[in-house]
Amino acid sequence: MQISEIILSSLLALIIGIFFLGLARKIMARIHWRYGPPITQPVIDIIRMFSQKGISHGSIFNFGLIFSLTGSFVVILFLPFGKMCPLSSGGLLVILYLMLLAPLGIALSSGEAANPNSSIGVSRKFLLALGYEVPLLLILLAVMTHYHTISLIEIVRIQANTGWSFGSLPLVLSGIAYFLILPAILGIRPFEISGAAQEISSGPKVEFGGKFLAFSTIQHALHEFIGISLFVNLFLGGWDLFGILEPISNTVWGIILGIIIFLIKMVIIFVIEIFINAVFPRFRIEQAMKYLWKWPTLLSFIGLLIVVLFN
């Protein structure tokens, strides 16, 4: 049972992540008043990349990419997917640790490639990670303190009984702060600093070609899935939709409908993020750090204070 859950959730995450990439390109095209590519375009791209002959730059180059891909898959196993959660021990603390594996692997891989653009991209990626990790830590602390648990499944279950934490008074500031740092976690446009194509030739990906680029694209898709599904689980109640699944909550249909509700919430959040991506220009790295350490950190800190005082 658990093995089938592991396979199913990682496969679904892969499909949803790649679907998100296609959806992003289509919506961006419609915003530009273009027709846009077919929604399956990332799949075609990935097939093409796998059939091209990539050039490896050494064993660390291969290892780092596999490391980041594995890190992303492992994080997905710890995230509740609707009602399905293959691994649950450790909860939010494990997720917080494992979320750093993906940029670390990409950094190892790009460092081996010895291209100046990729080293600039990696340093920017880590600076950005440093920028959003501080508010993210405060947000997770506030959530964990409010619900008296570190387990993400438990947090989702309590939200199904007492209402979404985005709507509850003590956690609303933390929710807003998470929404403000979400573009930085996804690496999209106000914070598309590390992968800036026009500025540093797409940053850490600059030496990836062929199957390496395909793996890096898949890793990017998984990373988008992780960032959004963490937000939906923490603040939008996971599979819960105002208690309509209450009568059938333990049947198979309840589980399937829970997954569908979860995915609809993710798509809504993702489309809002794409709108932000479409209208904003790119920050410089120091502007991004100034922003991330000012408003989201302030909001999440006040949110933490409110949670501590309320309890």
Tell me the C-alpha distance between 146 and 304, whole Å.
Answer: 9
Residue number, 38 or 243, with CB nearest to other proteins:
38
Per CB under 8 A, the list member of 4, 7, 32, 246 interacting with other proteins is 32
Q: Counting contacts by CB under 8 A, is residue 267 touching other proteins?
A: no
Q: Counting contacts by CB under 8 A, is residue 213 touching other proteins?
A: yes
HSE on the CB side for 49, CA within 13 Å?
17
Instruction: Please report, for residues 233, 234, 236, 274, the alpha-carbon distance to residue 160 in angstroms, rounded to integers and kept in the order given.
Output: 11, 12, 10, 28
Residue number, 71 or 204, with CB nearest to other proteins:
204
Let me know if 218 is exposed, middle or buried by CB neighbors in 10 A (0-12, 13-18, 19+).
buried
Q: Counting contacts by CB under 8 A, is residue 44 touching other proteins?
A: yes
CB-based contact 304:146 (threshold 8 Å)? no
CB-based contact 296:181 (threshold 8 Å)? yes
Residue number, 52 or 162, with CB nearest to other proteins:
52
Both structure tokens of 169? 């008074």
Instruction: Please report, for residues 17, 141, 300, 308, the alpha-carbon distance to residue 145 in angstroms, rounded to integers and kept in the order given.
Output: 31, 6, 13, 7
Q: Counting contacts by CB under 8 A, is residue 53 touching other proteins?
A: yes
Q: Counting contacts by CB under 8 A, is residue 197 touching other proteins?
A: yes
DSSP type of residue 191: G
Both structure tokens of 260? 């569908």
Q: Counting contacts by CB under 8 A, is residue 41 touching other proteins?
A: yes
Q: Counting contacts by CB under 8 A, is residue 111 touching other proteins?
A: no
Return the range that interacts with other proteins (CB under 8 A); candidates 43-51, 67-75, 79-87, 296-304.
Answer: 43-51
Q: Counting contacts by CB under 8 A, is residue 294 touching other proteins?
A: no
Per CB under 8 A, the list member of 52, 162, 251, 287 interacting with other proteins is 52
Q: Is 81 helix (H, G, I), strand (E, B) or coil?
A: strand
Per CB under 8 A, the list member of 1, 2, 33, 89 interacting with other proteins is 33
Per CB under 8 A, the list member of 10, 13, 45, 261 interacting with other proteins is 45
Return the range that interacts with other proteins (CB under 8 A); candidates 31-39, 68-76, 177-185, 241-249.
Answer: 31-39
List contacts with other proteins (CB under 8 A).
25, 29, 32-38, 41, 44-45, 47-48, 50-55, 117, 197-198, 201-202, 205-210, 213
